[in-house]
Structure 1
Amino acid sequence: MSAFGNWKIGSRLTLGFGLMIIIAIGMAVAAYFKLSHIEAAVARLSGDQLLKVEQLSEIKDNLNVVARGVRNILLLTDASGRKSELERIEKMRARNTELLDALARGDLDDEGHKLLGAVKSTLSPYDAAMNKAIALAQGDEAAKATRTLIDEVRPLQAAYFKAVDQLVTTQGRKMRDAVASVRGAADSGRLTMAVLAALAAMFGVVLALGIERSVIEPIKRAVAVAHTVAAGDLSVSIEVNSRDEAGELLQSLKDMVGALSRLVAQVRQSSDGIATGSSEIATGSADLSQRTEEQAANLEQTAASMDELTAGLRASSETAQQADALAERGVAAARRGGEAVAELVATMGQISESSRKVADIIGVIDGIAFQTNILALNAAVEAARAGEQGRGFAVVATEVRNLAQRSAAAAREIKSLIQGSLERVDAGAKQTDAARHEVTATVEEVQAIGQLVRQITGAITEQSQGVGQVDAAIGQLDEVTQQNAALVEQSSAAAASLSEHAAQLARLVQTFRLAEGARA
């Protein structure tokens, strides 16, 4: 396989299409230059040769116009008509001079310049003879003017036309040569394009066949290998001669066949081991089935004993629950008594606080009465100083003082009574607080008893639940044991079926044909 065969398929296709694109670009460039050459030739033909022919044709037309103008001057008798014809003649002559100068400035070869010189050499005698005829016609010498036209102007005009016709013939020949050159360039361009197209087609066919051979052949070999492997022949030999995608495919098939060969060899060995193991499993399953039946019988006896224990614990749990209910009611009653004593203590505290507030108020009233007494005494002293005028005020001050003294005495009595009541309230509060402490202690003891009863009830309940769980576990164990017995029977049947499948697997594996190195 050449180095080209180791290229990637994408690289080959890129190379092929790239070369075809380069050829197409070459064809386009060649066509462009050919068309440019043709365009230049056509431009010369249309812009130079044709223009010269048109200019020469216009010179001949202008000469005819001048001849008709001279004739009209001979025929016309009015001065204005003759003047108009004369102006037209001068205009045509000036135009011919411009055209001849343009031809002289144009791209003429030696022959063209020679013929143009001949045209100019015949122009001067022709113009002189024409001027003579025009002068005679304007002088009303028609006979002489006619004779001049016939004898002098006509031969010179014929020579002038002949020189112009020769130049026209030469330019026409050059136009035909230019057209032939354009046609030759077009034919050459078509031939060049045809040759390039043929070369491109040949190169494309060769390149396509080369790419097809380098791509399709390895793929065909890969397909043949796949069919051989599908038929069970793993001894096929695969040669990889390239590093492209097809070579990678063949290498992958080679690796796959090797892996399948090793796998089939291992499966053959494993199938023999499975057959031996399945027979041993069947024997062990029979022994396990017998032991499982014995274990199921023992579990049935244990389950009966656990049922009796569960019934006894259930009765103890019910009794403990009743005791717990009684303890709860006792705790509730003690708690209500404690709450009542607490409310009584709170009420005594409120009464004591109210008594203290009343005592404080009485103290304030006593202070006010004392100050009022002092003020009344001061008022009486001031009234005594005022004499007769302050006597009425003194009487009022005396009454106020007496009222203040009575208020102070009453306040002291009330204060004394309240202090006695406060002392008795404090004593009652202390006794009530002591009773509250006793009731609280009683409630705590009752709660402790209730807690102990609940703990006993909880322990019995937990024991009952534990025994129930054990009973359930034994039942589940018995059920599992029964299931195990069924599974053992299924295992025995499965072992027999496994032995049959192992034999069938060995027969199926024998259908694969391995190479000599893979059989070990």
Structure 2
Amino acid sequence: MKALQNLRVGTKIIALVMLMAIFLSVVGYTGYYNNLKSNDIINTLYTDKLRSISLLKEARAANRNIQGISYRLLTAPLTQTEYLELKNEMDALITQFNEIWTNYKQTNPDTYEQDMFPTFDSELEQYRTEREEALAIASAGNEEEGFRYFTREVTPHMEKLNSILLEISDYNDRTSKEMMDQANEDFKSSTRVIIIVLAAAVVLAIAVGTFIGRLISVPLNKVVTNVNEIARGNLTVEAVKLDTKDEIGILAQAVNQMAVNLKDLIKHVSVSAEQVASSSEELSASSEQQALATSQVATAIADVAAGTEKQSMAIDDTSMAIEQISAAIQQVAATSSEVAEQASNTSLAAQDGQKVIDQAIKQMNRIGHATDVTQGAVDKLAQGSRMIGEITDVISDIASQTNLLALNAAIEAARAGEQGRGFAVVAEEVRKLAEQSSKAANQIAELINENHLNINNAVTAMQTGNQDVKHGIEMVSSVGATFEQIAGSINQSVNSIQEVSASVEEMAGGSQQIVNAINQIDTISKQNLSQSQTVSAATEEQSASVEQISSSSQALAKMAQDLQLAVSKFSV
């Protein structure tokens, strides 16, 4: 029973078909065998019996005709011609009888008939000899003596021959009847066998077919019931317990494993959906924080740009003042060469020079103050650049986490199959936005690094300019002191005036250096302003990307809710 259940379904059906084929073969062979026997009997009846009976009847008829002609030859008054005609006719009948008898012997006679052949041949030989003797006596003119001889000697042999022919004919008739009876009995027997075999085949086929059908249908119905329950979302169905090794048993194991895998998948998808929903909320919150931070960065950059613009304007003013001072100093240098000739005007020129020096000192102080303010702004700009770098690092980290979450979401969407296709599209968009944010953050970092380098250069230049301004103040102060000495000792020698002229020339050179430094500061300030504007534009782009990430995270949360709703239809 167990071995039969473990057979393949195709093997079971083939076994049923083979069983039916065996019964059909038995029925066919029985019919064929009996038909073959019936055909043999019919052939035997025709070739051996019916033909034998027909030949025996012809032989008896020919023998009677010979006997009649013999009587006419013995008793009737005949002319010579009539006698010869009858004699020829009798010879023809004798030849015909011989042919008939020869043909009869070739009909496959049985032993009983063959045992009678010697007696018949002996009687036939004696009959013909005695008959010729009687005819010879009659033809010699003794008709009565020939007739009596014929009656006494020939007739017993003739009757014996007819008796043998009749007995053989009756024997063949009885044998034919026995063969027909046997054929009828065989027909009835074969009919009974065929009916019994057919009935047994039908009963056994119904029984075996029903049994095999139940072996197939009962477990298959169990599998179909579980599959229908699983199709309706009920994954809590009890596993089909079939330990058979046929296709249905394999199918039941596959359905059971499918239910287990679906249950695990639904649980995993449910957990993943919750994680995605939570992650999308965290991503949305992070994107909002990032948007706020980006806004703060944009505000700080705008402030830096405004401060840089003001610094540039102040430096322009300082540059103009320094150029004026330089021109004045050069004028003083030119005038100092004529001091010896214009001694009378030295006092007035010294007073004017003292005023100019005082203004120069005040202007240099303003330049020093502006330089300090500029350096403070540059320091703030450097600090803002560092803050932007830190915020950019945060943005890069958030973009990396967003990319990782998008990849995880795409994997979970792929596991979800058809239901997660839309979710996979959203995850891919989130991943692309994360990559764009990461690229933007990298660009901002590069700009910040470049800006930081420029700011460092500006700081260095500002420090150098500050030192030059201090040196200029010292020089202007020295010039003021000199002019005070000139005013106090206007009558000093020409050597003192030459020393003053040399000092004025040195101050002119220093003032030119101050002009060059201020021009460098102005150039750096303008570059810093341009970089600040670039950072501001990048920050605006990053803000737009953050808004897209926030929108995508909200859509991701909606997809996660839809996925949770779809998963809730399954009972695990």
- Same fold (TM > 0.5): yes
Find the counterpart in structure 2 of residue 64 from structure 1: 64
SS in structure 2 opposite 1:39? helix
Cα deviation 1:366-411 (Å, max 9, x = unaligned): xxxxxxxxxxxxxxxxxxxxxxxxxxxxxxxxxxxxxxxxxxxxxx
Any conservation in 2 of the 1:229–1:257 contact (CA below 8 Å)?
A: yes
Any conservation in 2 of the 1:5–1:242 contact (CA below 8 Å)?
A: yes
- What's the CA shift for 1:303? 10
SS in structure 2 opposite 1:237? coil
Cα deviation 1:316-363 (Å, max 9, x = unaligned): xxxxxxxxxxxxxxxxxxxxxxxxxxxxxxxxxxxxxxxxxxxxxxxx
Find the counterpart in structure 2 of residue 273 from structure 1: 275
1:224 and 2:225 equivalent?
Answer: yes
Cα deviation 1:287-323 (Å, max 9, x = unaligned): 22223334456778999999xxxxxxxxxxxxxxxxx
What is the CA–CA distance in structure 1 between the aligned matches of 2:109 and 2:295, rounded to whole Å?
A: 130
Equivalent position amino acid for 1:87 in 2: N
Moved more, 262-271 or 218-227: 262-271
Q: 1:487 aligns with which of 528, 531, 548?
A: 548
Any conservation in 1 of the 2:301–2:532 contact (CA below 8 Å)?
A: no
What is the CA–CA distance in structure 1 between the aligned matches of 2:305 and 2:79, rounded to whole Å?
A: 165
Any conservation in 2 of the 1:12–1:211 contact (CA below 8 Å)?
A: yes
SS in structure 1 opposite 2:222? helix
The structure-2 alpha-carbon separation of the partners of 1:230 and 1:174, relative to structure 1 and needing over 3 Å to count, comes to: same
Q: 2:288 aligns with which of 278, 286, 289?
A: 286
- What's the CA shift for 1:63? 1.5
Alignment of 1:248-327 (within 5 A): 248-296=250-298
Any conservation in 2 of the 1:286–1:492 contact (CA below 8 Å)?
A: no
Find the counterpart in structure 1 of residue 351 from structure 2: none
Cα deviation 1:40-78 (Å, max 9, x = unaligned): 333332222223213311211212332454466546413
What is the CA–CA distance in structure 2 between the aligned matches of 1:40 and 1:479, rounded to whole Å?
A: 113
Equivalent position amino acid for 1:279 in 2: E
What is the CA–CA distance in structure 2 between the aligned matches of 1:492 and 1:48, rounded to whole Å?
A: 108
Cα deviation 1:446-465 (Å, max 9, x = unaligned): xxxxxxxxxxxxxxxxxxxx
Find the counterpart in structure 2 of residue 19 from structure 1: 19
Any conservation in 2 of the 1:228–1:236 contact (CA below 8 Å)?
A: yes
What is the CA–CA distance in structure 1 between the aligned matches of 2:39 and 2:550, rounded to whole Å?
A: 103
SS in structure 2 opposite 1:242? coil
SS in structure 1 opposite 2:109? coil
What is the CA–CA distance in structure 1 between the aligned matches of 2:13 and 2:193, rounded to whole Å?
A: 27
Find the counterpart in structure 2 of residue 240 from structure 1: 242
1:87 and 2:92 equivalent?
Answer: no
Find the counterpart in structure 2 of residue 48 from structure 1: 48
The structure-2 alpha-carbon separation of the partners of 1:101 and 1:507, relative to structure 1 and needing over 3 Å to count, comes to: closer
The structure-2 alpha-carbon separation of the partners of 1:283 and 1:144, relative to structure 1 and needing over 3 Å to count, comes to: same
Moved more, 250-259 or 87-96: 87-96
- What's the CA shift for 1:8? 1.5
Find the counterpart in structure 2 of residue 454 from structure 1: none
What is the CA–CA distance in structure 2 between the aligned matches of 1:39 and 1:470, rounded to whole Å?
A: 119
Equivalent position amino acid for 1:513 in 2: S
Structure 1 unmatched runs, 5+? 307-468, 515-520
Percent of pairs identical after alignment? 18
The structure-2 alpha-carbon separation of the partners of 1:100 and 1:491, relative to structure 1 and needing over 3 Å to count, comes to: closer
Cα deviation 1:177-210 (Å, max 9, x = unaligned): 1122222223322322222222222332233222
What is the CA–CA distance in structure 2 between the aligned matches of 1:130 and 1:214, rounded to whole Å?
A: 90
Find the counterpart in structure 1 of residue 372 from structure 2: none
Find the counterpart in structure 2 of residue 7 from structure 1: 7
The structure-2 alpha-carbon separation of the partners of 1:205 and 1:189, relative to structure 1 and needing over 3 Å to count, comes to: same
Any conservation in 1 of the 2:127–2:158 contact (CA below 8 Å)?
A: yes
Any conservation in 1 of the 2:283–2:550 contact (CA below 8 Å)?
A: no
Cα deviation 1:225-245 (Å, max 9, x = unaligned): 011122332221111221111
Equivalent position amino acid for 1:255 in 2: Q
Alignment of 1:106-505 (within 5 A): 107-110=109-112, 112=113, 123=124, 127=128, 130-131=131-132, 134-135=135-136, 138-139=139-140, 160-238=161-239, 239-296=241-298, 477=538, 480-481=541-542, 483-491=544-552, 493-494=554-555, 497=558, 501-502=560-561, 505=563
Moved more, 221-230 or 475-484: 475-484
What is the CA–CA distance in structure 2 between the aligned matches of 1:261 and 1:20, rounded to whole Å?
A: 46
Find the counterpart in structure 2 of residue 325 from structure 1: none
What is the CA–CA distance in structure 2 between the aligned matches of 1:153 and 1:97, rounded to whole Å?
A: 18
Any conservation in 2 of the 1:289–1:488 contact (CA below 8 Å)?
A: no
Q: TM-score, normalised by structure 2?
A: 0.51
What is the CA–CA distance in structure 2 between the aligned matches of 1:470 and 1:132, rounded to whole Å?
A: 166
- What's the CA shift for 1:486? 3.6
What is the CA–CA distance in structure 1 between the aligned matches of 2:280 and 2:208, rounded to whole Å?
A: 64
The structure-2 alpha-carbon separation of the partners of 1:137 and 1:2, relative to structure 1 and needing over 3 Å to count, comes to: same
- What's the CA shift for 1:474? 6.8
Equivalent position amino acid for 1:244 in 2: D
Any conservation in 1 of the 2:291–2:546 contact (CA below 8 Å)?
A: yes
What is the CA–CA distance in structure 2 between the aligned matches of 1:486 and 1:269, rounded to whole Å?
A: 28
1:513 and 2:514 equivalent?
Answer: no
Cα deviation 1:61-118 (Å, max 9, x = unaligned): 2123324544665464134x533432342343355456557767963454x5677677
What is the CA–CA distance in structure 2 between the aligned matches of 1:483 and 1:42, rounded to whole Å?
A: 109
- What's the CA shift for 1:487? 1.0
What is the CA–CA distance in structure 2 between the aligned matches of 1:300 and 1:5, rounded to whole Å?
A: 84
SS in structure 1 opposite 2:238? coil
Any conservation in 2 of the 1:288–1:488 contact (CA below 8 Å)?
A: no
The structure-2 alpha-carbon separation of the partners of 1:216 and 1:75, relative to structure 1 and needing over 3 Å to count, comes to: farther
- What's the CA shift for 1:174? 1.3
What is the CA–CA distance in structure 2 between the aligned matches of 1:121 and 1:190, rounded to whole Å?
A: 49
SS in structure 2 opposite 1:250? helix
The structure-2 alpha-carbon separation of the partners of 1:104 and 1:232, relative to structure 1 and needing over 3 Å to count, comes to: closer
- What's the CA shift for 1:39? 3.1
What is the CA–CA distance in structure 1 between the aligned matches of 2:94 and 2:531, rounded to whole Å?
A: 145
The structure-2 alpha-carbon separation of the partners of 1:472 and 1:137, relative to structure 1 and needing over 3 Å to count, comes to: farther
The structure-2 alpha-carbon separation of the partners of 1:302 and 1:246, relative to structure 1 and needing over 3 Å to count, comes to: farther
Any conservation in 1 of the 2:69–2:86 contact (CA below 8 Å)?
A: yes
What is the CA–CA distance in structure 1 between the aligned matches of 2:118 and 2:72, rounded to whole Å?
A: 31
Equivalent position amino acid for 1:198 in 2: A
SS in structure 2 opposite 1:261? helix
Q: TM-score, normalised by structure 1?
A: 0.55
- What's the CA shift for 1:159? 6.1
SS in structure 1 opposite 2:234? coil
What is the CA–CA distance in structure 1 between the aligned matches of 2:281 and 2:118, rounded to whole Å?
A: 130
Cα deviation 1:468-510 (Å, max 9, x = unaligned): x999987983673353154145246436635xx43x5545544
Any conservation in 1 of the 2:59–2:100 contact (CA below 8 Å)?
A: yes
Any conservation in 1 of the 2:274–2:564 contact (CA below 8 Å)?
A: yes
Aligned length: 350
